[in-house]
Amino acid sequence: MHLRDTPQEAAFRRDLRAWLAEQVPRHRDGGAPGDWTKALHAAGYTGLTWPAAYGGRGLPPTYQGIYAEESALAEAPDHSNVIGLGMVGPTIVSHGSPEQQQRFLEPILSGAYVFCQGFSEPDAGSDLAAVRTRATATADGWRVTGEKVWSSYAHQADWCLLLARTQPDSTAHTGLTCLLVDMRSPGVQVLPLRQSTGDADFNQIVLDDVLVPRDCVLGPVGEGWRIAMTTLAHERGTFGITLTARLTVEFDRLLRTVRDLGLADDPTVRAELAELHVQLQALRWTGHRTMATLARTGKPGPESSVLKLHWSVTNQRLAAFALRLLGPAAVLDGPDSHAAGHWQHLRLRSRANSIEGGTSEILRGIIAERVLGLPRTR
């Protein structure tokens, strides 16, 4: 495992850091929707690891890790097509037909096609082996009926990468197929899920006899489980690097709060800060280990599940600690409250960390089976 940048990586990081310092303030304080995505695309920071033939730069995964870390530390906006860029696009590169690659990849990079993911379901959660959404073969393709839930960006999406059961009476991992669904098709309904913060980052997707043309099947019929695993592997590739960098930003903000409240010399506060710092550093080095595995094998190892699980616990703990420091003032919200209500919002938002990007229950199962070598649960 390499803990330092190579000379080429260091040069890339230096140039990226300078570009972010100039561009982020301009886009964070205003600008039309999509302007940041256009700026990233024009500067060559989309599709860093994608093959050059598909519009990428063909760089090793470590460069994507550097981008994830530096953009999070700079508090840069997200690309408008996070799911398409990080998950669907690499899956189409690996399993799509030449026609699908020609049709979807460049629009994903530019942000012209925004994708969401339709894997989780109301009665299955993140357990993809329990998917119930069904697709029935017709003369024109497939008719899809079912429900998906916790779909990020579905309210903005043009397309959805969806997992459906295409083999009647199949169970568990068999008989599943991945489909590319036009979100403007008749029969598609998107219902935003309002969170305790008041935001609606997630959505429910209701599919009622939706026609999916035959040329929108991604990969072989009946091998959707294998295709979906490719998608999830890419989700967890550099995800941990981004999460850890964002946690670093929150930890620095917590230190400022401690100083503002005059608690920097309080021994109990210092002890809690020290423990959070140790947890943060453990996450950081686990992220580097995940990146080393990705660079060596081309796919992230199970360490990425350890990282995401532990990040969710640490982020929730940090937010709760910040509110305890505020004392009675923690009940005050709004622009006139301490940090303009940032800690209240983070505390409420952090509750979703145990669900998004793989639920804690599913991640514990992966760690038990693939890291500890315990017997499979089924």
- Do 115 and 159 form a contact (C-beta atoms < 8 A)? yes
Q: Which of 121, 235, 250, 272 is the catalytic position? A: 235
d(CA 232, CA 234): 5
Could you tell me which residues come within 8 angstroms of residue 3 by beta carbon, excluding any fewer than 6 positions away? 288
Torsion of Cα atoms, 52 then 56 then 62 then 66, to 10°: 150
- Do 157 and 184 form a contact (C-beta atoms < 8 A)? no
Name the 3-class secondary structure at 373: coil
By DSSP bridging, strand 115-118 and strand 159-165 are parallel
Name the 3-class secondary structure at 157: coil
Instruction: Identify residue 147 by its one-letter amino acid code.
Output: E
Could you tell me which residues come within 8 angstroms of residue 61 by beta carbon, excluding any fewer than 6 positions away? 49, 237, 238, 291, 294, 295
Closest CA to 190 of 215, 218, 158: 158
d(CA 138, CA 367): 41
Tokens at 37, concatenated: 């995505």
- Do 150 and 120 form a contact (C-beta atoms < 8 A)? yes
70 noted as active-site residue: no
- Report, as residue numbers or ranges, the catalytic residues: 235
